[in-house]
Amino acid sequence: MSVDLRTRIGAASLPNPIMTAAGCAGIGRELGRFFDVAKLGAFVTPSITPEARAGRPAPRLAETPSGVLNSTGLQGPGIDAFLARDLPWLDEQQARTIVSIAGNSVEEYAEVAGRLATAPGVTAVEINTACPNVEDRGLMFAAHPTAAAEVVRAVRAHTRRGVPVLAKLSADVTDVVGVAMACADAGADALSMINTLHGMAVDTSTFRPRLAGITGGLSGPAIRPVAVRCVYQVHAALPEVPIIGIGGVRTGLDALELVLAGASAVAVGTANIHDPSACVRILRELDAALRERGISHLADAVGLAHKPAGTLMRRIDPNVGVAEPTEQETLQ
């Protein structure tokens, strides 16, 4: 049985649901040495800012028992270099490119979105709402529905019609559903969840924080249950809004878990650090997992965890593969 893995993120049609997570796969050339980046559902760029940024001082990465802390500080070349050098390369590879954008103010987000509006090869724009808003005492945009909605509205106004605008949300908030609803009302075509969680590690030998930036963003397997929870809650409240599930995905079954919670696509982040071919492997594993469960269309699996108990779905026996429906299930 073949599986139809096609999915939609707003107006964008993708051949499969697996994409990179912003900031975890370089600018594309790095992965291009291992596989054709056009095989991905989409490639998500690092967050692009108006000006070049040197980022935070080293050390910027610290391993934890089940994840990675990073404090890169949005290091990047800025929008001019991105448009001149990086976006054309991705377009030449025929990659579907989702451009992550960031800024310190609403005006900076709008500026980057406006520069992208006439650039070829942009499949969608993803707003990194976890950036601190320097005009609001350094609070991140994602921390408050009104601030998140304001930046979404500005980016939507500067993005050409037909290009979806995605809002990337943080789980470090009291009410992620409220922020998600505000972003959708402001014009977000889809939601990406979740960004890294704010964390910290201390070196017990030097007695000092392990990151030069003191705190950083935690990613990896440790945050996957949080991502699943957020995707589930937001899909329940906004079932019509596509969600890109992000957080600690290492295998096809990890991806399937987010799909069942309500994600229409899945982004792979930290796994790329250890395995540059992780995305294509996870795509193969997801395809196999759906086939084993008798699901021929990815779209049929989106949000299945919300279905009432007793809904007939083929069950998997971990020892023998696909289990035959029980007599009771057959009668339903």
67 known ligand binder: no
How far apart are the C-alpha atoms of 128 and 108, rounded to whole Å? 12
Q: Which residues contact 208 (CB under 8 A, 6 or more apart)?
A: 202
Are 5 and 264 in contact by the 8 Å Cβ rule? The answer is: no
273 known ligand binder: no
196 known ligand binder: yes
Query: Which positions are catalytic?
Result: 131
28 known ligand binder: no
10 known ligand binder: no
Between strands 243-246 and 97-101, the pairing is unpaired
262 known ligand binder: no
220 known ligand binder: yes
270 known ligand binder: yes
How far apart are the C-alpha atoms of 196 and 222, rounded to whole Å? 10
- Using CB atoms within 10 Å of the CB of residue 156, give its burial: 0 to 12 exposed, 13 to 18 middle, 19+ buried: buried
Find, among 175, 176, 20, 14, the residue nearest to 167 by Cα: 176
Find, among 70, 72, 76, the residue nearest to 99 by Cα: 76
103 known ligand binder: no
282 known ligand binder: no
* Binding residue numbers: 128, 168, 194-196, 220, 247-248, 269-270
* Binding residue numbers for substrate: 128, 195-196
* Binding residue numbers for FMN: 128, 168, 194, 220, 247-248, 269-270
